[in-house]
Homo-oligomer: A and B are copies of this chain.
Amino acid sequence: MNTSPSTYEAQRLDASKLTYSYTTSPRPVPDEATLASSDETICTDHMIIVSWKAKSGWSAPELKPYGPLSLFPSASCLHYAHECFEGLKAYRGYDGKIRLFRPDCNGRRFKMSAERISLPSIDPEELEKLMVALLSVDSPKWLPKHHAGQFLYVRPTIIGSNAQLAAVAPTEALMYIIVGFMPRMDMPPGGKRLLTSPDDMVRAWVGGFGYAKVGANYGPTVTASQDAYRRGFHQILWLYGENGECTEAGASNFFVLWRRKDGAKELITAPLDDRLILNGVTRRSCLELVRQRLRDVEVTERKFTIGELLEAAEDNRLLESFSAGTAWFICPVSKVQHRDREINIPMGSDGGPGEITATIKGWLEDIMYGRCEHEWGVVVPEKESENCTL
């Protein structure tokens, strides 16, 4: 949509042109204590970076030592939020292999987000090759085989880098991929507690960009989230419209398992068609697996309101709830606070996730950590040279 004729002749992103410059000062892999005490995201030894210009297209990708970027103070990413990203995990399987989970989905969404924010488009398959190339180099050291069941976090990013103080389509951009540590967040003690968004804070709106993974969806939500933290909640449950439709839980998709008034057991989540919410990879995987494997649970994507949630709670029809996303994975929700009303949602008998939530989570973990072979788990071949196992 936003490609000028010349862009078609410009060089497309091409992973086969990747060059390698290994670090000469490898850093130590942090231990648990270091990770727990650090506010910063500790990244691996290398990153991949590719520059883009409107006239010439994408340059040859470079794998090089992780380090700071040099950006002019007038770079468009620093003024006009010309930035988009993706988030995936690389899982060290119980079979010793590293896997990505459905990276094709992230790639397609990355392309869509880039186009929405007027950044250059990318070929999702080339992005996947580059992520694999970077993990191939850094995984053996940073997520070694004896760390089965653990993960690294992969963050592809595109930023507008043209030094121009004007809200126009960037004529220069950088795409980069970094890999770092992220804490495990899927088991907060007692379950996740959500606070509904205040009336004067709306995350996204019809006609906006809530469906795209662009920076502009995140920073503006932080004041509301900080208020929720201070009040003892983990995240905001973002409501929308006069009727208080439940949309996202923080930066995760929000699921409720309830018994409908007709007695049917239903797993419900907000729909994609009004483009308010992110089309989550974990979200779609939950929906697909439950539709395939759980015949006694109806799966519904439709608008549902906080009023329906309150009513179901009063009727004792709430069975389980969870948020789904890459960062929080499948995280059971035990409480939703809406104004002065408290909605308590059952957890499992052991204080963990309820039965269906645990089942879905188990299925996904089996794929991610290689307990079962599945097309969604993409194995990353690893280099074992002396360059990358320092």
Residue positions of A touching B, CB distance < 8 A: 1-2, 39-41, 43, 47, 66, 68-74, 76-83, 85, 87, 115-118, 153, 155, 157, 159-160, 162-169, 171, 176, 178, 180, 182, 199-202, 205-209, 214-223, 225-226, 251
Q: Which chain B residues border A225 with CB–CB below 8 Å? A: 167-168
B66 with A69: CB separation less than 8 A: no
A118 in contact with B222 given A71-B68, A80-B215, A81-B81 (CB within 8 Å): yes
Contact B165 A180 (CB under 8 A): yes
Residues in B whose Cβ lies below 8 Å from that of A41: 74, 163-166
In the complex where A69-B73, A77-B77 touch, is A219 in contact with B214 (Cβ < 8 A)?
A: yes
A212 to B223, CA, bound (A): 13
CB distance from A76 to the nearest CB of B (A): 8
| Min CB gap A235→B, angstroms | 10
Report chain B residues within 8 Å CB of A199.
Answer: 207
A87: nearest residue on chain B (CB-CB)?
Answer: B165
Task: State whether A208 and B205 are in contact (beta carbons under 8 Å apart), knowing that A78-B83, A79-B83, A165-B153 are contacts in the complex.
Answer: yes
Q: A41-B165, A163-B40, A223-B1 are in contact. Are A180 and B218 (CB under 8 A)?
A: no
- Interface contact A78-B167, CB-CB below 8 Å: no
A176: contacting residue among B47, B70, B73, B215, CB under 8 A: B73
A73 and B66 contact, Cβ closer than 8 Å, known pairs A118-B219, A214-B220: yes
Q: List 23 A-B contacts (CB under 8 A).
A: A39-B171, A40-B74, A69-B78, A73-B157, A73-B176, A73-B178, A74-B178, A80-B222, A81-B83, A81-B215, A81-B216, A83-B219, A116-B220, A118-B226, A165-B182, A167-B219, A167-B221, A167-B251, A205-B207, A208-B208, A216-B216, A216-B217, A216-B219
Please name all residues of chain B whose beta carbon is closer than 8 Å to the beta carbon of A222 when the two chains form the complex. Answer: 80, 82, 117-118, 167-169
Tell me which of B2, B72, B160 contacts A223 (CB under 8 A).
Answer: B2
Given contacts A81-B83, A165-B155, A226-B168, A43 and B219 within 8 Å (CB-CB)? no
Residues of B within 8 A of A221 (CB): 167
Q: How far, in whole Å, are A251 and B167 apart by their CA atoms in the complex?
A: 9
Tell me the bound Cα distance from A66 to B72 in angstroms: 9
Q: Do A223 and B116 touch across chains, with their CB atoms under 8 A apart?
A: yes
Q: Are A220 and B226 in contact (CB under 8 A)?
A: no
Closest to A201 in B: B207
Given A39-B164, A169-B226, list of 13 further CB < 8 A pairs? A1-B223, A2-B226, A39-B171, A41-B74, A43-B74, A68-B71, A69-B73, A74-B180, A118-B223, A153-B165, A205-B205, A208-B220, A216-B217
Taking CB atoms, residues of chain B closer than 8 Å to A226 are 2, 118, 168-169
In the assembled complex, the CB of A388 is this many whole angstroms from the nearest CB of chain B, namely 19
**Least CB distance, A108 to chain B, in whole angstroms:** 18
| A218 and B116 within 8 A (CB) | no
Question: For A80, what are the chain B residues with a Cβ–Cβ distance below 8 Å?
Answer: 215, 218-219, 222
